[in-house]
Chain A
Amino acid sequence: MKSLRIVADLVQTGPPEELDPQIASNRRRQATAALVVALIVLLIVAGLTTPSFLTFENLLVVIRNASVTGIVALGMSYVTISGNLFALSAEELSILSACIFGWLMRANFGLSLSLVVTLLLSGGGGAVQGGIIALGADPIITTLAFGGFFRGLASVVSQNQNILLGSDAAEWLGTGRPLGVPTQSWAFIILTLVAWFVLQRTRFGRLLLLSGANRVAGTASGLRIGQAALLGLTLLGFCCGITGIFAAAQFGQAVANLFQGLNFDVIAAILVGGIALRGGQGSPIQAALGAVFISVLQNFMLLHDFTSGWRTTVVGILVVVATCGFHLLQRRRA
């Protein structure tokens, strides 16, 4: 896993001393712009070649799918930007949250109480990991271990069966469309704006950026570096909780095999979005764009009858291309 970090560093950012950071920052902006252009091109191509793509129904599916990955990717971007790479337990914590929410609903705790308790527990699940990382543990190893723990716990809570929610209010939460847009997508859009605002405009956001930019300098400047890891993972925990609740509510049931491949999708969103793995740079908006792009691509392939194997392969290639492309972009000098 140490080697993973080294490889990730190399792939993403190249040798730091060769890099003019100002140019790198401009390049990063260029990369974001390139992603937006690619997204528009993809939308046009898909719209022209695929009759069923630009239908209202299909676009709702795309947006809703993007929301699942996207909401978690927002939380993940905080972890990455604070210099703690990735949490490999996002998928598992989302599953656990869904199961806890289902269990609470089935036990008739009522919607509001179930929501509050699930969010507190998911936030707590993130906080525990963050606390351990704040004490100096490796984020990859820690979250990998917690992932196993959460997955097991989800099986225990659900007893490996479908937990039926049986609640109209919960069903609305999962399938409602205020102003024609799914609730998940509203949440995604609002959380993206909130996440951007918090990072750019609050003290906590500044702490996160500075901690990620240079952990040692942060400590030497009296910043509470540990807080950055703690709060970053706590927020990711909340995001996992929100995603879990939405999924359980949408299907009217919770089960321990939800969200397959979510960890990879979220990491892919971060990488395609062009957020630097070194930390200290980037924005949740990049993660959101990455998630939307991947979701559109997935949907496009689905409509063209790509098998699941091919879809995974193509997204894998996209991540490789995005990472290498960004690397090359950085190395090229003006």
Chain B
Amino acid sequence: MPSRDIVLRMSGISKRYGSLSALLDVDFALARGEVMALLGENGAGKSTLVKILAGLERADAGAVEIEGQPIRLRSPSHSLQAGVAYVTQELSIVGPLSVAENICLGGRDQQVVWTRARLADEVKPFLTLVGLESIDPSVPAGSLSVAQQQLVEIARLLSRNAQILILDEPTAALSDVEIEKVKAVVRKLASEGRSIIYVTHRLGEVFEIADRVTIFRNGRSFEPVEVKSLDIDELIQHLLGRRLEQMFPGRSETLGPIVLSLREVMAPGLSRPVSLELREGEILGLAGQLGSGANGVVRAIAGVVPSDSGSIELRGRPFRPGSIRDAIKEGIAYCSDDRKRDGIFGVRNLFENFTSTALWRISIGGLLSRPREIKIATELADFFEVDAARLGRHAAKLSGGNQQKVALGKWLGIEPSILLVEEPTRGVDVGARAEIYRHLRKLANQGLAIVFVSSDNQEVLGLADTVATFFRGRLVRVASADSLEAEELLRDVTHPGAEDVRFIQ
């Protein structure tokens, strides 16, 4: 795109962390009014580049030019002053303050006294910029949805006159409908001449939103590619450096007897009772966007929240877990969608993480047996293809993919018969994703019954044997994955018509 003028040029950027090269002589340029997607597996270097630009990290070597002026970015506030705004998944919204106050937060206001009305007037144009003109600026920001909060954050940065916006996985925590809103705002801002760097794991988004894409691999960047000239296979091939023939493993050949059945179960998050069945060796995918209620079903089975009414039968016997421990005793394992919060022990090593659910298996009469611990942890690492050399490392140190393997793997210690997983590959790069799918399928083939909840439709169709779709607290449809079209699934989870709502009794 030589005709467009360049707002940002980074050249020869290198950055090392200890012995690890995060970036190696990377060149990067951004044109005015374009959306540039950054793609790469975890650790490929895209986050590091973005952090250098945001003033959070300093490059060891290389030069940065903004609007043709050489600049050394010293701190986040310095970057913002230079017109670079960084929006991360961790929003800096202050919930109890009003939307207007949030937008003005940290800005330079000459006046000592301000009134609500004046603040509202001041922020109105920025709210309009991000498509929130219908929001009352005086409501507490905490009362908005996550997507709206994200837009408020963008508005705040725009009010500082940011010309280059870095959006770091802006849609990771959003539902499809909300994602559309954010994407619309991104397109609008670009069309008004702002430049956007869009970091994402979702390949689909790249095609919808980006003009060009820069791919990172092993700390190096490739020449930006026009999105128009790409197709998805090519993109994956670029990302991995090899063609990924099949992301998903095959389906289950034979299903065993029913292990779990839900009859008319009501749980927090559901608006109608749900009935479902799960067989040995089956992978059941619960598809739904944020607020669909699918999580509530899984959590009721896991004993996280008790079901309100209805009955659950486990291997033909009534089962009503009052706590997670109850479920664990029955061989039910549960991985939530927030593994950093409750899936791993960040400051403990992998031996300890892998064996944390079944301390009795590594101890004899209260004393820990080191050989048993090593044996179990090594087997699990082997099964999940976690490098055994990393077993002594802290879990927090691992990539998202490896952390997820640990969060899943630790459950094999209880020899579960049912595995419940929410968002099995959230924040996991493409390569590790395929591995996790393969491991889950392998477990199912060994007789484990798996239920997973996902807002990634592709994942649901690819991994599940049976799909149950959820929309706003109710079960829309249960169908075999082979018989379900991607379009049907998308409609089910976003806006099913009344005629589509069928209840499987």
Contacts and interface: CB of A to CB of B under 8 A. Distances in A.
B324 interface: yes
Contacts of B17: 333-334
Contact of A213 (B324, B347, B366): B347
Contacts of A203: 359-360, 363, 366-368
B381 to A, nearest CB: 17
Interface in B354-377: 356-357, 359-360, 363, 366-368
B356 A204 contact: no
Nearest to B304: A220
Contacts of B343: 217, 220
A206 B359 contact: yes
Given A22-B397, A203-B366, A219 B342 contact: yes
A280 B348 contact: yes
A24 B347 CA distance: 9
Contacts of A209: 348, 352
Nearest to A280: B347
B72 interface: no
A214 B342 contact: yes
Contacts of B393: 22
Given A217-B342, A222-B328, 20 more contacts: A16-B346, A21-B347, A21-B394, A22-B394, A24-B347, A25-B347, A25-B394, A203-B359, A203-B363, A203-B366, A210-B345, A217-B341, A217-B345, A218-B356, A219-B324, A220-B342, A220-B343, A221-B356, A221-B357, A221-B410
Interface size class of B (residues with CB under 8 A): 20 to 34
5 contacts: A25-B347, A202-B368, A210-B345, A218-B345, A221-B357
Interface in B324-353: 324-325, 328, 334, 336, 341-348, 352
Given A21-B397, A206-B352, A206-B359, A220 B334 contact: yes
A214 B344 contact: yes
Contacts of A168: none
Contacts of A201: 367-368
Nearest to B334: A220
Interface string A10-44: 00000010001110110000000000000000000
Interface in A192-235: 200-207, 209-210, 213-214, 216-224
A319 B255 CA distance: 63
B285 to A, nearest CB: 22
A281 interface: yes
Contacts of A216: 341-342
User: Which of A22, A276, A281, A333: most chain B Cβ within 10 A?
Assistant: A22
User: Which of B347, B348, B396: most chain A Cβ within 10 A?
Assistant: B347
Question: What are the nearest 4 A-B pairs in CB distance?
Answer: A21-B394, A220-B342, A222-B328, A213-B345
A222 B352 contact: no
Interface in B476-502: none
B241 interface: no
B18 A213 contact: no
Contacts of A206: 352, 359, 363, 368
A65 B18 CA distance: 43
B55 to A, nearest CB: 14
A217 B356 CA distance: 10
Nearest to A204: B366
B394 A280 contact: no
Nearest to B327: A222
A217 B403 CA distance: 13
B387 to A, nearest CB: 14
A202 B366 CA distance: 6
A75 to B, nearest CB: 19
Interface in A114-165: none
A171 B18 CA distance: 59
Nearest to A211: B345
A213 B347 CA distance: 6
A46 B18 CA distance: 39
Contacts of A213: 345-348
Contacts of A223: 356, 359
Contacts of B357: 221-222
Contacts of B360: 203
A209 B355 CA distance: 13
Contact of B336 (A202, A204, A220, A333): A220
A58 B17 CA distance: 49
Contacts of B356: 210, 217-218, 221, 223
Contacts of B414: 222
B363 A20 contact: no
Contacts of A205: 368
Contact of B396 (A21, A202, A224): A21
Nearest to A209: B348
Given A202-B366, A222-B325, A214 B345 contact: yes
B345 A20 contact: no
Interface string A51-94: 00000000000000000000000000000000000000000000
Interface string B426-465: 0000000000000000000000000000000000000000
A199 B134 CA distance: 58
A25 B360 CA distance: 27
B51 to A, nearest CB: 11
Contacts of B410: 221
Contacts of B328: 222
Contacts of B18: 333-334
A216 B334 CA distance: 13
B368 A222 contact: no
Contacts of B344: 214, 217
Contacts of B368: 200-203, 205-206
B491 to A, nearest CB: 34
Given A22-B397, A203-B368, A281-B347, A210 B352 contact: yes
B324 A220 contact: yes
Interface string B379-399: 000000000000001101100
Nearest to A18: B56
A25 B393 CA distance: 10
B301 to A, nearest CB: 14
Contacts of B346: 16, 21, 213-214
B204 to A, nearest CB: 28
A199 to B, nearest CB: 10
B194 to A, nearest CB: 28
Interface string A240-284: 000000000000000000000000000000000000101011000
Given A203-B366, A210-B352, A280 B345 contact: yes
A16 B347 CA distance: 10
